[in-house]
Structure 1
Amino acid sequence: MSLLGLLSCNQDSRKEVVAYVSVDRIYAEPILESFSQATGIKVFLTYDVEATKTAGLANRLLLEKDGS
């Protein structure tokens, strides 16, 4: 299964990442929950919607690249 998940680490010492996910939630959540349990890293999930699949997330990443 191909999973488009771009992980962005926070600037501080907390163990957290943001996953930008373009696959359906039903497939992504179990994988990322397993990752969190195995590593202790909290994952914040950001999903794309059907109407803007992939392009919507790409545009969001471009907008956020210099911000948070």
Structure 2
Amino acid sequence: MEKGSNVYTPRFCTVTISEVFADRQAACEAGYTEPTHYHKDGWGIAGRARNTTDMRFAAYRE
């Protein structure tokens, strides 16, 4: 998984990865707390809302 990848998630459909983290805790500390319910090949994806119309997504190793 790398920055710029497009991934289909159960909650948000297709998202673009903005950041990649070593683990879930690092992603949470950076503000990525919204679950996407994506868990595949040792990766998870979480989101964060920048404002009411803009979400960013990060991948993390599980």
**What is the TM-score when the length of structure 2 is the normalising length?**
0.31
Higher Cα Rg: structure 1 or 2? 1
In terms of fraction of residues, the more helix-rich structure is 1
Higher relative contact order (CA 8 A, sep 6+): 2
In terms of fraction of residues, the more strand-rich structure is 2
